[in-house]
């Protein structure tokens, strides 16, 4: 049975993440929002600390955990493991800054893919390196099954050709996990992910994107022209099985969607805390024990947002806990991502509205960050599957429909 309080063994991790968010992320948040594409050197020392924690057997809590369906140690019973610690740490760090979290070395979405799908040998080769993930293409956004990038077998290698856009941390990462199809005629069953080393001939970065939010994080576009990737760099089973679909690569989303939900939860809490402070200073009393209709309109609106925040947080914890306990969590991962992403966008914009000019103006203190958080929030409802795609997945799961039956 899932328990809703923070496990005692993760209390230290949550405290450390909170201190990092408060003492490192928040003070430099505005600086790197303005200096887009500038790498935050302050994160290097933090990454070294995380590496030390991992070497000592701890969990970084910053995004590189995976969803592995079998317990390597054969353990049974309830457990609170890497996925729960990751989302708890992510919530705290994104209270500080989402873009800076996405800029942390060796904590990329590609690392989550490797942790979820890689063999033990691949984990040994790639586990300690920074990996981005490349899914989206110019003609393929939310429908990952429509991927056009191809991977053709050629001896001991696969040859990749195609184009990838919106690759988070694409410029800074050492590796990129590229999604490609082994056979376009076989549809989603032929989709696989490949680890491509930066510097591989034919794998060229063509531009960096200028973005609305998460500007501390770099977002790159790549062209792949006859990129030769060793067969040993394919993640998962190379055989095409129509009965399994592309469950191997989709398993990655079971991990990364709760992770993105956790980012949204952390940002939402930051907005609510700053807005409560501003409302309190303006003489608005918020009493959760009184009916909303008996309070001011601003207080009633705040209580509604607080309830949405709690729902998003609990759904996120549930999805992570299920992953730790080797329970299928695709439905819960999509529910958490959908609810948290929508909550972050709606709450951040409403907080800007309630704060008035203090919420709309750009500044370096907490009040001046409300407009930034509203910009950062939007991506959390888009990447790793849009709001609409998450609701479609939830509907399919609840109704027992296939992707062909419910589009």
DSSP-H helix ranges across 118-177: 120-126
Average pLDDT on 160-168 reads 97
CA distance 333 to 35: 33
Say what angle helices 247-281 and 370-377 make with each other, to 10 degrees: 160
pTM: 0.92
Q: Which residues contact 159 (CB under 8 A, 6 or more apart)?
A: 151, 152, 226, 227, 228, 229
Counting Cα atoms < 13 Å in the Cβ hemisphere of 122 gives 23
pLDDT tens for 305-364 read: 999 999 999 999 999 999 999 899 999 999 999 999 999 999 999 999 999 999 999 876
Residue 182 binned pLDDT confidence (cut-offs 50, 70, 90)? very high
pLDDT tens for 204-260 read: 999 999 999 999 999 999 999 999 999 999 998 888 766 555 555 667 788 889 999
Q: Which pLDDT belongs to residue 249?
A: 60
Encoded tokens for 116 = 């979820």
SS3 116: helix
Residue 65 binned pLDDT confidence (cut-offs 50, 70, 90)? low
Say whether 384 is catalytic.
Answer: yes
Decide if pLDDT at 384 tops 80.
yes
Least confident stretch, 15-19, 69-73, 125-129: 69-73
CA distance 257 to 83: 11
β partners of residue 234: 194
Decide if pLDDT at 61 tops 50.
no
CA-angle at 33, arms to 48 and 359, nearest 5°: 125
CA distance 394 to 144: 16
Residue 289's CB is within 10 A of a number of other CB atoms, namely: 4
CA distance 24 to 368: 17
Residue 48's CB is within 10 A of a number of other CB atoms, namely: 10
Least confident stretch, 44-48, 217-221, 265-269: 44-48
pLDDT tens for 90-116 read: 999 999 999 999 999 887 888 888 888
Domain boundaries, the chain: 8-126, 131-235, 247-399
CA distance 187 to 22: 46
Q: Which of 92, 137, 171, 384 is catalytic?
A: 384
Residue 75 binned pLDDT confidence (cut-offs 50, 70, 90)? low
Q: Which pLDDT belongs to residue 60?
A: 44
Decide if pLDDT at 53 tops 70.
no
Q: Which residue has the higher pLDDT, 3 or 342?
A: 342
CA distance 5 to 138: 43
Residue 158 CB-density burial (10 A; 0-12 exposed, 13-18 middle, 19+ buried)? buried
Q: Which residues contact 111 (CB under 8 A, 6 or more apart)?
A: 63, 64, 127, 130, 131
Is 247-399 a domain of CATH 1.20.140.10?
A: yes
Q: Which residues contact 265 (CB under 8 A, 6 or more apart)?
A: 91, 94, 309, 312, 313, 316, 340, 343, 344
Average pLDDT on 118-136 reads 92
For the domain made up of 8-126, give the CATH fold. Butyryl-Coa Dehydrogenase, subunit A; domain 1 (1.10.540)
Homologous superfamily, domain 131-235: Butyryl-CoA Dehydrogenase, subunit A, domain 2 (2.40.110.10)
Decide if pLDDT at 144 tops 80.
no
């Amino acid at each position: 049975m899932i328990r809703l309080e923070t496990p005692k063994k993760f209390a230290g991790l949550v405290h450390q993440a909170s201190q990092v968010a408060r003492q490192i992320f928040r003070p430099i948040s505005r600086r790197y929002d303005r200096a887009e594409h500038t790498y935050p050197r302050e994160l290097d020392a933090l990454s070294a600390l995380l590496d030390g924690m991992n070497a000592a057997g701890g969990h970084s809590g910053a995004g590189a955990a995976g969803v592995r369906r079998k317990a390597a140690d054969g353990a049974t019973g309830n457990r609170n493991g890497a996925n729960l610690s990751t989302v708890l740490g992510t919530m705290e760090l994104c209270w500080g800054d989402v873009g800076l979290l996405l800029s942390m070395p060796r904590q990329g979405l590609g690392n989550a893919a490797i942790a979820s799908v890689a063999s033990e040998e691949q984990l040994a080769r790639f586990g300690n390196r920074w990996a981005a993930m490349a899914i989206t293409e110019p003609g393929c956004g939310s429908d990952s099954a429509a991927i056009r990038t191809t991977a053709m077998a050629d001896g001991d290698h696969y040859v990749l050709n195609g184009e990838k856009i919106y690759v988070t941390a694409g410029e800074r990462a050492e590796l990129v996990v590229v999604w490609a199809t082994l056979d376009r005629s076989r549809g989603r069953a032929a989709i696989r992910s490949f680890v491509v080393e930066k510097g591989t001939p034919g794998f060229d970065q063509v531009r960096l994107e200028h973005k609305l939010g998460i500007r501390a994080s770099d977002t790159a576009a790549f062209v792949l022209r006859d990129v030769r990737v060793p067969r040993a760099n394919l993640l998962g089973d190379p055989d095409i099985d129509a009965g399994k679909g592309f469950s191997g690569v989709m398993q990655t989303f079971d991990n990364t969607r709760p992770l993105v939900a956790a980012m949204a939860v952390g940002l939402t809490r930051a907005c609510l805390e700053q807005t409560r402070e501003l409302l309190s200073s303006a003489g608005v009393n918020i009493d959760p024990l009184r009916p909303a209709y008996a309070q001011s309109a601003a207080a009633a609106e705040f209580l509604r947002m607080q309830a949405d925040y709690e729902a998003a947080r609990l759904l996120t914890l549930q999805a992570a806990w299920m992953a730790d306990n080797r329970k299928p969590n695709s439905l819960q991962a999509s529910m958490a991502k959908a609810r948290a992403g929508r909550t972050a966008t709606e709450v951040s914009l409403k907080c800007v509205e309630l704060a008035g000019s203090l919420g709309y103006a750009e500044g370096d203190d907490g009040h001046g960050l409300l407009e930034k958080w509203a910009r950062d929030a939007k991506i959390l409802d888009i990447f790793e599957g849009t709001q609409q795609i998450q609701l479609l997945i939830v509907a399919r799961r609840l109704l027992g429909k296939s992707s062909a039956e419910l589009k």
